[in-house]
Amino acid sequence: VQLQASGGGLVQPGGSLRLSCAASGTPKDYSTIGWFRQVPGKSREGVSCISISDGTTYYADSVKGRFTISRDDRNNTVYLQMNSLEPEDTARYYCATSNWSPEISHCRFHLNHWGQGTQVTVSS
């Protein structure tokens, strides 16, 4: 499985970005797909993920109400719409999969694939 993330960049506080993750390859050995982020020197933080079977979602408390995850099953693509961005959202965002549910993996644990990531910088 290959995961290609895109859509990162530099944005001012209060701005928006939409990240995309294109999944390819077989076998499709995962049931959850989503995003975690990481800042150098800090541990991985699960951001948001979604079940590919029933659409169940997980959001970190820090992004609830600001970020929305969605999926396009026909194109095997997952999106993360990020609104009202804050400097604290600055990190490298990685697309990742898990064979555990969003409620268990929290987009952080039991990951079996992840990509190279895309940098998001929120600064004035």
Cα–Cα distance measured from residue 53 to residue 88, given in angstroms and rounded to the nearest whole number: 32
Tokens, residue 13:
């506080």
Q: What is the pLDDT of residue 4?
A: 94
First to last CA, the chain: 37
User: Residue 21 pLDDT > 90, yes or no?
Assistant: yes
* Average pLDDT of the residues of the chain: 95
Cα–Cα distance measured from residue 88 to residue 85, given in angstroms and rounded to the nearest whole number: 8
Q: What is the pLDDT of residue 116?
A: 92
Helix (H) or strand (E) holding 111: strand 111-114
